[in-house]
């Protein structure tokens, strides 16, 4: 065994470049392979004294694949790379990993952008306004300019109660489990005389809230009010709130909305959003969110609120798959559909049908009152 | 790699596979390679897969061939360091304080002894080792961190710290480093995503349902009294059930349960009639049972 040690060493030195090339190819195909995983892979090959391709296969698979979805990609890349084929398989939408604000190619079947969003939808039922109905109950899409100004003032007064989570650090409390450390310390201070036992409770910390606001054509009447609503939330909890707009692409508007003046904040946000009143590609945009933000921690343990009517231009299967993924990442998923507040609404749009099984709460969000109710849902989510 | 844990005694994955087989656990090539690399590289092994494919029993088998203890940490929402790492034995600390006071008698001398008494209170005597600390201090131990997906993500950050250093710091005692790092097996049922940082630290293996041949072998090795034909019938039927779109596809533990149920009823072959009666040992949701009954048991049992 020792006799061929030098020979073996040579093979490994020559092989290292090939192996690193393999790791890079996997990264290009969309696997999360960085220097650390590559190094582990090399030491795994070394530990196995890998001489045949099956051993290299397993060494690579256990060190560089990280989830079941990676396995088909891994198998395909392995087969292609080590058989010397040049055309390598690519993960369908791996390109969305490179940049968040990437333009999604418009589909051929999409007619002109804009008004066509409503074409498949029955015209909104005009609500019968009774004398008692307050502005709070009015549909945000049908406000007059004067009412809109009033609503802005009311939104600014909103004091949202937002969700919390248990913190690992307990806080002193008058009841609850014994705080041994503090009790002992008090006893020691009094020379070992038992005093009043101290108690503590699990502390509470703000739970992250992620808002995904659909700004496509069919949601345009609500976009302004929803962004203002998001502004109130961001101002209230700057650290634990994230806001993205979705449509044909994903844009992060948290930073713009963090400014004090709502009008400045909205104007800045509008500059970041390139796809206002465009089409909807919910599945792809949600995938971009999951890949780029959600998976990395933004959605972990968070309450994710999607404001959308569920009109989907892209693939419904992708939307179903990505909402399922979102739900696994997040603490809970709340879907807010302004149209749900309308009389006779049925969740029959293909997008909603696909997303609903993966949604924890499905609520309306068409009026200020509905938004306030929604806040209660978020708080308890 | 310089690690000399007991399992490194195995020269290659095949030798480890043989040892696993001797304990009654039948590994496939992926599992034995992953387990071999975990001990050779000193990395934790991260196992994901459907419930009941044998993730936990792999850890048990690994402990058995190492001839060491399996230390198990079951995760749940809200688990924290006091349940995972260590805690102080409060009642005994208080007793000790009272005893010290009774012996010294007067309160005047207590002030002088304060530092000594405090140091004594936070000494090894009053430390309760929870699973992770116990594993760090038991040479050659296998630490099973079960269902990590149930714990909060803050707990993952904490685990990452422990698993990359194999050491913990107790403020009152100092740093405790594992002499020989334990073999760590983490399992997840994938109810949520685990942070990539933690996965990067580990070797990842997705445990599949076993092939028909392997499942027959598992049934026969676990239940020596089963006939070859019944084992094949059960494995085949369970394999078909996995292809139906069920809420909870049956795992290996379910096929074992089913075979045990049939043996307990004194059957040596599986027919639709007895299958209908014993279906509850394989399918755990009413919706699944209804669906399979609607498809027809004959189709599932046809050989």
Average per-residue pLDDT in chain A?
A: 78
**Does the beta carbon of A180 lie under 8 angstroms from any beta carbon of chain B?**
yes
Q: Which of A16-25, A160-169, B293-302 has the lowest mean pLDDT?
A: A160-169
Q: Give me the domains of chain A, ranges plus CATH numbers.
A: 2-91 (no CATH), 133-161+207-380 (3.40.50.410), 169-205 (no CATH)
Per residue in A219-228, pLDDT (tens digit) is: 888 888 899 9
DSSP string, B132-171: HHHHHHSTT-EEEEE-GGGS-HHHHHHHHHHHHHTEEEET
Task: State the DSSP string of A177-216.
Answer: EE-HHHHHHHHHHTTT---PPPEEEEEEEEPPEEEEEE-S
Looking at the complex, does the CB of residue A1 fall below 8 Å from at least one CB of chain B? no
A296, B33: Cβ pair inside 8 Å? no
- Kindly determine whether residue B193 and residue A300, on different chains, have CB atoms separated by under 8 Å: yes
Handedness of CA B92, B93, B96, B101 (dihedral sign): negative
Confidence of residue A35 (pLDDT cuts 50, 70, 90): very high
Residue A101, pLDDT above cutoff 70? no
pTM value surpassing 0.80 = no
Separation between Cα atoms, residue B191 and residue B167, nearest integer Å: 29
Residues in A touching B29 (Cβ below 8 Å): 54, 58
CATH architecture of B6-77+131-207: 3-Layer(aba) Sandwich (3.40)
* Greatest mean pLDDT range, A47-51, A374-378, B43-47, B193-197: B43-47
Q: What is the per-residue pLDDT for A44?
A: 93
Q: Are A212 and A252 in contact (CB under 8 A)?
A: no
Interchain contact, B111 vs A296, CB within 8 Å = no
Least Cα separation, residue A226 to chain B (angstroms) = 29
**pLDDT recorded at residue A99:** 31
Partner-chain contact B78 A202, CB within 8 Å: yes
Q: Residue A39 contacts by C-beta under 8 Å, 6 or more apart in sequence?
A: none
Pick the closest to residue B97 from B117, B80, B81, B82 (CA basis).
Answer: B117
The pLDDT confidence band at residue A85, using thresholds 50, 70 and 90, is: low
CA distances from A71 to A26, A31, A66 (A): 11, 10, 8
- Give A295's contacts in chain B (Cβ within 8 Å): 193, 196
Angle at A128 between CA A126 and CA A132, to 5 degrees: 140
More confident: A283 or A168: A283
Instruction: For chain B, give the mean pLDDT.
Output: 86
Q: Searching chain A, which residue's CA lies closest to the CA of residue B43?
A: A40
Chosen for mutation from B204, B208, B209, B249 (greatest number of chain A CBs closer than 10 Å) is: B204
Which of B29, B78, B98 has its CB closest to that of A192?
Answer: B98
Distance, in angstroms, between B67 CA and closest chain A CA? 23
Please indicate whether, in this complex, the C-beta atoms of B153 and A43 are within 8 angstroms of each other.
Answer: no
Which among B1, B153, B191 has the least Cβ separation from residue A300? Answer: B153
The total number of residues written for chain B in this structure = 303
Q: Is the Cβ pair A59, B37 closer than 8 Å?
A: yes
The Cα-based distances of B11 to A2, A181, A205, B4 in angstroms read 14, 49, 50, 12
Give the helix ranges, DSSP H, for chain B: 13-22, 29-41, 55-66, 81-84, 90-104, 108-121, 131-137, 153-165, 196-201, 212-222, 228-243, 252-264, 272-278, 286-295, 297-301
B37 to chain A, minimum CA–CA distance in Å?
A: 6
Q: Phi-psi category of B77—alpha, beta or left, where left has phi over 0 and alpha has psi -120 to 50?
A: beta
Is A168's CB within 8 Å of B100's CB? Answer: no
Beta pairing class for A251-252 and A241-246: antiparallel
Of A37, A71, A192, nearest to B206 by CB-CB distance is A71
Q: Predicted confidence band at B236 (pLDDT cuts at 50, 70, 90)?
A: very high
pLDDT of residue B8: 54
Distance (Å, whole) CA A381 – CA A243:
18
- pLDDT band for position A96 (50/70/90)? very low
- The residue in chain B having the minimum alpha-carbon distance to the alpha carbon of residue A169 is B80
d(CA B135, CA B188): 20
A194 contacts chain B (CB < 8 A): yes
Rounded alpha-carbon distances, angstroms, from residue B115 to A259, B87, B89, B109, B190: 53, 21, 19, 12, 49
pLDDT of residue B108: 53
B7 has a pLDDT exceeding 60: no
Instruction: Give the rounded percent of residues in chain A with a pLDDT score beyond 90.
Output: 17
pLDDT band per the 50, 70, 90 thresholds, residue A256: confident
Q: How far apart are CA A51 and CA A74, in angstroms?
A: 20
Which chain A residue is nearest to residue B202, measuring alpha carbons? A63
The candidate with the shortest Cα–Cα distance to A211, out of A186, A191, A240, A171, is: A240
Backbone angles phi, psi at B72, to 5 degrees: -115, 135
pLDDT tens digits, residue range B74-86?
998 778 888 899 9
Using 50, 70 and 90 to split pLDDT, how confident is the model at A334? very high
Chain B residues lying within 8 Å of A296, measured CB to CB: 196
Closest Cα of chain A to B204: distance in Å? 5
Taking residues A337-343, what's their average pLDDT?
82
What's the whole-number mean pLDDT along residues A294-316?
A: 85
Higher pLDDT, A243 or B151: A243
pLDDT digits (tens, 9 = 90+) for B24-38: 899 989 999 999 999
Determine which of A26, A38, A62, A167 to mutate to test the interface with B (most B C-beta atoms within 10 Å). Answer: A62
**Which residues from B are below 8 Å from A62, CB to CB?**
30, 33-34, 37, 203-205
Mean pLDDT to the nearest integer, A71-89? 77
- How many other CB atoms are found less than 10 A from the CB of residue B182? 27
Instruction: Indicate the burial class of A157 (C-beta count within 10 angstroms; 0-12, 13-18, 19 or more).
Output: exposed
Any B CB within 8 A of A164 CB: no
For residue A214, report the phi and psi dihedrals to the nearest 5 degrees.
-75, 120
* Res. A5: pLDDT tops 90: no
**Would you list the domain boundaries of chain B?**
6-77+131-207, 86-127, 212-292
pLDDT greater than 50 at residue A132: no
Read off the pLDDT band of B47 (50, 70, 90). very high
A121 falls in which pLDDT band (50, 70, 90)? very low
Confidence of residue B215 (pLDDT cuts 50, 70, 90): very high
Residue % of chain B over a pLDDT of 90: 37
Q: Specify the pLDDT at position A32.
A: 86
For residue A164, the chain B residues in CB contact (below 8 A) are none
Rounded-to-10 torsion of CA B83, B87, B89, B94 = -120
Residue B109: partners with Cβ closer than 8 Å, 6 or more residues away: none
| Closest residue, chain A, to B152 (C-alpha) | A301
Structure tokens at A90: 């690519």
Judging contacts by C-beta atoms under 8 Å, the chain B residues touching residue A48 are 12-13, 33, 36-37, 40
Task: Tell me which residue in A65, A180, A329 faces B90 most closely, judged by beta carbons.
Answer: A180
Q: Which helix (H) or strand (E) holds A20?
A: helix A5-28
- A311-333 pLDDT, tens digit each: 887 788 889 988 998 998 899 99
Query: In this predicted structure, what is the pLDDT of residue A275?
Result: 78
Taking contacts as CB-CB distances below 8 angstroms, the residues of chain A near B81 are 168
Q: What's the whole-number mean pLDDT along residues B196-213?
A: 91
Do A316 and A286 form a contact (C-beta atoms < 8 A)? Answer: no
- Look at residues A254, A250, A223, A226 and name the one whose alpha carbon lies nearest to residue A238: A254
The helix or strand, by DSSP H or E, that contains position A223, with its residue range, turns out to be: helix A220-236
| CB of A277 closer than 8 Å to CB of A218 | no
DSSP, res A290: I
d(CA B87, CA B129): 7
The model's pLDDT over B108-163, given as tens digits with 9 standing for 90+, comes to 555 556 778 778 888 888 999 999 999 999 988 999 999 898 887 778 888 988 88
User: In the numeric block, which tokens belong to residue B170?
Assistant: 């107790």
DSSP line for A231-256: HHHHHHSSTTEEEEEESSS-EE-HHH
User: Does residue B220 surpass a pLDDT of 80?
Assistant: yes
Residue of B nearest to A202 (CA): B78
Confidence of residue A11 (pLDDT cuts 50, 70, 90): very low
Q: What is the pLDDT of residue B145?
A: 95
pLDDT band at A114 (very low <50, low <70, confident <90, very high): very low
Residue labelled with tokens 């609520």:
A363
Beta strand pairing call for B174-177 and B167-170: antiparallel
pLDDT tier at B303 (50, 70, 90 boundaries)?
low
Q: Does A292 touch chain B (CB under 8 A)?
A: no
CA distance A84 to chain B (A): 24
**How high is the pLDDT of residue B191?**
67
């Amino acid at each position: 065994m020792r006799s061929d040690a030098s020979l073996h060493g040579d093979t490994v030195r020559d092989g290292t470049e090939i192996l690193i090339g393999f790791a890079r190819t996997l990264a290009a195909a969309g696997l999360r392979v960085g220097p650390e995983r590559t190094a582990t892979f090399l030491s795994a090959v070394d530990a196995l004294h890998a001489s045949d391709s099956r051993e290299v296969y397993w060494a690579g698979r256990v060190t560089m694949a990280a989830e079941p979805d990676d396995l088909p990609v891994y198998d395909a890349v392995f087969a292609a790379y080590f058989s010397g084929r040049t055309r390598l398989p690519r993960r369908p939408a791996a390109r969305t990993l490179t940049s968040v604000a990437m333009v999604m190619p418009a589909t051929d079947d999409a007619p002109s952008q804009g008004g066509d969003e409503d074409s498949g939808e029955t015209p909104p039922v005009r609500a019968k306004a009774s004398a008692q109905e307050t502005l709070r109950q009015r549909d945000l899409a049908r406000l007059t300019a004067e009412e809109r100004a009033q609503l802005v003032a009311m939104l600014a007064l909103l004091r949202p109660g937002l969700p919390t989570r248990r913190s690992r650090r307990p806080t002193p409390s008058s009841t609850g489990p014994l705080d041994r450390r503090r009790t002992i310390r008090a006893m020691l201070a009094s020379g070992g005389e038992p005093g009043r036992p101290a108690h503590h409770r699990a502390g509470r910390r703000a739970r992250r809230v992620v808002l995904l606001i659909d700004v496509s054509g069919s949601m345009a009447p609500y976009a302004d009010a929803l962004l203002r609503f998001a502004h109130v939330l961001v101002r209230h909890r700057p650290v634990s709130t994230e806001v993205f707009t979705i449509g044909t692409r994903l844009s992060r508007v948290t930073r713009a909305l963090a400014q004090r003046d709502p009008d400045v904040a909205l104007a800045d946000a509008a500059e970041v959003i390139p796809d206002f009143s465009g089409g909807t590609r919910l599945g792809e945009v949600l995938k971009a969110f999951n890949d780029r933000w959600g998976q990395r921690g933004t959605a972990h343990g968070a309450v994710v609120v999607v404001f959308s009517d569920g009109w989907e231009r892209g693939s419904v299967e992708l939307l179903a798959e990505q909402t399922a993924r979102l739900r696994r990442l997040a603490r809970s998923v709340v879907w807010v559909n302004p149209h749900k507040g309308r009389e006779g609404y049925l969740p029959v749009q293909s997008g909603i049908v696909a997303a609903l099984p993966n949604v924890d709460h499905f609520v309306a969000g068409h009026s200020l009152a509905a938004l306030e109710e929604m806040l209660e849902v978020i708080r308890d989510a | 790699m310089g690690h000399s844990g007991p399992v490194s005694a195995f020269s290659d994955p095949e030798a480890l596979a043989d040892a696993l087989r001797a304990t009654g656990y039948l590994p496939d090539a992926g599992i034995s390679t992953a387990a071999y690399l975990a001990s050779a590289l000193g990395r934790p092994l991260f196992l994901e897969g459907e419930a009941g494919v044998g993730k936990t029993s792999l850890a048990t088998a690994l402990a058995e061939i190492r001839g060491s203890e399996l230390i198990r940490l079951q995760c749940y929402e809200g688990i924290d360091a006091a349940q995972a790492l260590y805690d102080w034995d409060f009642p005994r600390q208080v007793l000790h304080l009272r005893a010290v006071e009774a012996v010294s008698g007067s309160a005047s001398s207590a002030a002088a002894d304060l530092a000594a008494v405090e140091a004594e209170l936070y000494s090894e005597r009053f430390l309760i080792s929870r699973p992770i600390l116990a594993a760090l201090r038991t040479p050659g131990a296998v630490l099973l961190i079960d269902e990590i997906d149930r714990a909060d993500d803050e707990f993952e950050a904490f685990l990452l710290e422990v698993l990359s250093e194999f050491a913990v710091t107790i403020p009152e005692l100092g740093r405790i480093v594992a002499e020989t790092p334990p073999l760590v097996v983490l399992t997840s049922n994938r109810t949520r995503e685990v942070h990539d940082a933690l996965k990067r630290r580990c070797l990842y293996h997705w445990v599949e349902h076993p092939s028909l041949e392997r499942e027959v072998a598992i049934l026969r090795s676990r239940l020596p009294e089963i006939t070859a034909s019944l084992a094949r019938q059960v494995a085949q039927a369970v394999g078909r059930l996995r292809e139906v779109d069920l809420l909870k596809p049956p795992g290996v533990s379910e096929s074992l349960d089913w075979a045990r149920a049939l043996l307990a009823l004194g059957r040596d072959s599986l027919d639709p009639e007895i299958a209908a009666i014993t279906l509850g040992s394989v399918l755990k949701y009413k919706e699944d049972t209804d669906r399979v009954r609607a498809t027809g048991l004959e189709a599932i049992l046809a050989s």
